Structure 1
């Protein structure tokens, strides 16, 4: 009932423990708090909060228009709803290196288990679009150093994302990933890799967990969890999958209502009311309410 039974510190500790073990951690992107609860119920290992999804949810393109406050608020709403660790996309840190440090502390307060900061120029753009630009290495390293220095909970995961693969090639991405780890990154996110061999190259070059972004309609192929694990990847995100499924079905549903004048044909494709109530835990709230008010005042 209500929110997670675990403190943010405990979720961070458990996330670190899972990353230090074997296997691949799968983090679907939650587009709202209820979808985060569904992700947990379906047996996944974590929840991802995508900057692209937060932007789209506000009706905006993913070009750096969202603010730290908007992203942190949504991350907080999602993280508190699940016992799973939440990893959040913190874009470029929302400004200069000092802003990156403030971003880290704000996200700590939001209850997330980790965040990633990227090396694109500010404002950034979607990692799978053409025409990206990255900052110089010194600026990228300063962002990560500031983020690590700003951290108060040592278990908060600071992940460095690099977009240099699409700009200067794989060798540059490998070199930058190594430098970002030396600067204090606990994990690396090489964006827009084109194949398993590229993930393998990054994983061989660093001694920290590597994340793979399995976004649809992007630069690379959609590899299976087993393929990614065998390539040395430790975390995989599916950032926009649930939003795309939901919006696609919403569009088809509206078309059906417009064409037939009723939603009758859509009922079998909907989440049933009983399933929604179960996911929200109506019974738990009802029991709590009856226990609270099931008493008499002695006179």
Structure 2
């Protein structure tokens, strides 16, 4: 009897990329808040999935920091992002929202970006309106492409999709350059160009968040919660009441793991042992279960037999 290889990727058959995109669209249409944790690797993807979240966010800043040790200054290439997206979609059943920065160029480059990341399994792709090289939205000194140019890039991106279920998120960093009025104007323009979801980066106050939610009502909205950043940190229901249906915590997991890792290594450097910290790390069994060792062991035993024919 053939071995059920679907057990190697978790519980039940892995959904197709199209099914993940439909699941994400259903979550966005439902109106209930989608809490979206950011991930930088397959470990993060497994943790997010087993913690019960409905989707994960492949963070560009986190990828630059965690995989390449560089700041979020537009230093990572499309090829590097696509390779990581392929690993992430292979490691989880969740829909994956992918931060594709500026699309890595003009409209034609953006079309190629859409096709490559779609093939890698992305459920949603996020594009932003900064000039290249981009900067983290909570840094200073941004520069934007013209609003009409970004509308053209959005239209080109939509034409490049081969699966209409693939979600396009349009982000504007205009608040940091020209103020909240310009950011809202760009939001309307990007919705008109066909964006499925709008992302106004870095509103500075609750009043600005309220304006974004009220004036861009009708299109799903993302709020980016950056601990120590420029946008107020509120309770989840407060963001929902202000009109946001996607609450993004792009680098919360990475920063939490950084702090835990630093504390663990400080202890090791000071004491030269780890036994006293056994209760503050994942157990051996928890580690193996997270990565499906029992299923792989069963598969190994199944195939470690002489072939007996069909």
Kept after mapping to 1: 8 A contact 2:214/2:242: no
RMSD: 1.5
The equivalent residue for 1:79 is 89
Q: Are 1:69 and 2:79 an aligned pair?
A: yes
Task: Please give the per-residue CA displacement for 1:12-71, whole angstroms capped at 9, x wherever unaligned.
Answer: 011111111121011101121121111111111110011101111201111111000111
- SS class of match (1:2): helix
Q: Are 1:20 and 2:29 an aligned pair?
A: yes
CA distance in 2, matches of 1:263, 1:124: 41
CA distance in 1, matches of 2:308, 2:132: 62
The equivalent residue for 2:116 is 106
Kept after mapping to 2: 8 A contact 1:214/1:222: yes
The equivalent residue for 2:173 is 163
Which segment is superposed worse, 59-68 or 77-86? 77-86
- SS class of match (1:28): strand
CA distance in 1, matches of 2:53, 2:207: 26
Residues 130 and 296 of structure 1: CA distance in aligned 2, closer, same or farther (over 3 Å): closer
The equivalent residue for 2:289 is 278
Q: Are 1:117 and 2:127 an aligned pair?
A: yes
Q: Which runs of 4+ in 1 moved over 6 A?
A: none
Shift of 1:179: 0.2
TM-score of the superposition, structure 2-length normalised? 0.92
CA distance in 1, matches of 2:188, 2:210: 14
CA distance in 2, matches of 1:221, 1:266: 35
Say which of 194, 210, 233 aligns to 2:221. Answer: 210
* Unpaired runs of at least 5, structure 1: none
The equivalent residue for 2:247 is 236
Kept after mapping to 2: 8 A contact 1:37/1:82: yes
Shift of 1:201: 2.0
Say which of 107, 112, 120 aligns to 1:97. Answer: 107
- SS class of match (1:80): helix
- SS class of match (1:12): helix
* Unpaired runs of at least 5, structure 2: 1-6
Shift of 1:296: 6.7
The equivalent residue for 1:42 is 51
- SS class of match (2:102): coil
TM-score of the superposition, structure 1-length normalised? 0.95
CA distance in 2, matches of 1:120, 1:296: 58
The aligned length equals 298
